[in-house]
């Protein structure tokens, strides 16, 4: 892949960058450059470039603005103590974007090109990769995305597609850092149905989560829990993360329904937990199992996980008419530490998951 580069003539000053990296928040500040590639049926992927970060002009009839033909990914670059910079299982993000692309009727971007695009952006904006301190785990959040950029109001797969990568320094996703979150059980909204887009990472799934997420905020909760669309009985996932249940007998259980977004963090935790001797189960989990399991002491800990959330303990579940609380516990803490130590190069990478960028 030939990438042409136009350097930003006005990069953020070192002083301003230091201020930003001291308290980056999540998804607020963006690096000096962005990666762009375009696709047409005749030319395939072409016009591959890095240019100064900035607004893009779109015709009002651009298809994505009307029919939401869009997919995205979320991943991070981590700075290790020796100054080197690494990503975590980037080929998994590339493969998931390809699966999302098939569902959204997009052309596929080859795995190597996806990884090369991310690497190229991180390399040019290297100074934006924060130095992490144990506990704050700052990193550079990377957002690859693809959208229907054809100017056409007919409803069909776009014949002009744009792929971009932007990046944003990130601290903890939830305000207040790593502390137990409260979840709101949505009984009136669902996220995905059979044959729908639940397993794809596409903007529409997040648009549909916003009303229930607003309901969650009103109830004093941080995230919404979705149940399956057909029976309203089985736990799927949260608005932006997967969920795990720790059992007193040493099992670690996570929902599998065919309609969730299968997280790379989720897959990694399943492997790390199995290696540590936990018995892992991917299966349907009924909401009563949560409510009753905590009450009976069978479920001892619950945590959410994802690229943005890393591993976050779940402190409480609220629903219309009740609530159930879980304490933060040692299994969550240990799995979190195992994962972040690996990502930040503080532990041996026994699975070969880290990819060096610089």
Binding region for ligand COI (CB under 6 A)? 74, 240, 306-308
Residue 257 contact partner, candidates ligand PLP, ligand COI, none, CB within 5 to 8 A by sort of partner: none
Binding residues for ligand PLP restricted to 70-109, rule: CB under 6 A:
74
Nearer to ligand PLP, 79 or 266 (CB): 266
* 241: contact with ligand PLP by CB under 6 A: yes
* 307: contact with ligand PLP by CB under 6 A: yes
Residue 242 contact partner, candidates ligand PLP, ligand COI, none, CB within 5 to 8 A by sort of partner: ligand PLP
Contact residue for ligand PLP among 265, 300, 312, 343 (CB under 6 A): 265
Q: What's the min distance (Å) between Cβ of 160 and ligand COI?
A: 25
Q: What's the min distance (Å) between Cβ of 234 and ligand PLP?
A: 15
Q: What's the min distance (Å) between Cβ of 264 and ligand PLP?
A: 4
* 263: contact with ligand PLP by CB under 6 A: yes
Residue 266 contact partner, candidates ligand COI, ligand PLP, none, CB within 5 to 8 A by sort of partner: ligand PLP
Stretch of 8-16, 132-140, 235-243, 339-347 lying at the interface with ligand PLP (CB under 6 A):
235-243
Contact residue for ligand PLP among 24, 90, 130, 240 (CB under 6 A): 240
Distance CA 191, CA 214 (A): 14
């Amino acid at each position: 892949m030939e990438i042409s580069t136009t350097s930003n003539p006005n990069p953020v000053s070192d002083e301003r960058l230091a201020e930003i990296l001291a308290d980056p928040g999540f998804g607020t500040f963006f690096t000096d450059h962005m990666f762009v590639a375009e696709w047409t049926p005749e030319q395939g992927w072409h016009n591959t470039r890095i240019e100064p970060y900035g607004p893009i002009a779109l015709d009002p009839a651009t298809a994505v603005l009307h029919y939401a033909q869009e997919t995205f990914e979320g991943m991070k670059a981590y700075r290790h103590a020796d100054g080197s910079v690494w990503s975590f299982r980037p080929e998994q993000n590339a493969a998931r974007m390809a699966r999302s692309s098939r569902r959204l009727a997009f052309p596929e971007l080859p795995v190597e090109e996806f990884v090369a695009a991310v690497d190229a952006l991180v390399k040019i904006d290297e100074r934006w990769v924060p130095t992490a301190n144990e506990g704050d785990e700052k990193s550079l959040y990377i957002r690859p995305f693809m959208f229907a950029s054809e100017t056409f109001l007919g409803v069909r797969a776009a014949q002009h597609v744009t792929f971009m990568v932007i990046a944003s320094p990130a601290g903890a996703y939830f305000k207040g850092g790593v502390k137990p979150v409260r979840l709101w059980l949505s009984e009136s909204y669902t996220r995905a149905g059979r044959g729908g887009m639940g397993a794809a990472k596409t903007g529409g799934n997040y648009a549909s989560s916003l009303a229930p997420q607003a309901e969650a905020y009103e109830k004093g909760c941080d995230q919404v829990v979705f149940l399956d669309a057909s029976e309203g009985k089985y736990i799927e996932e949260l608005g932006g993360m997967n969920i795990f249940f720790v059992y007193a007998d040493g099992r670690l259980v996570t929902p599998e329904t065919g309609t969730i977004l299968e997280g790379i963090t989720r897959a990694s935790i399943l492997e790390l937990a199995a290696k540590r001797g936990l018995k892992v189960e991917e299966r349907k989990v009924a909401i009563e199992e949560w409510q009753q399991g905590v009450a009976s002491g069978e479920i001892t800990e619950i945590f959410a996980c994802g690229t943005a959330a890393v591993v976050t303990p779940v402190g409480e579940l609220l629903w219309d008419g009740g609530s159930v609380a879980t304490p933060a516990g040692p299994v969550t803490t240990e799995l979190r530490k195992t994962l972040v130590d690996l990502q930040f190069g503080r532990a041996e990478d026994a699975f070969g998951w880290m990819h060096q960028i610089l």
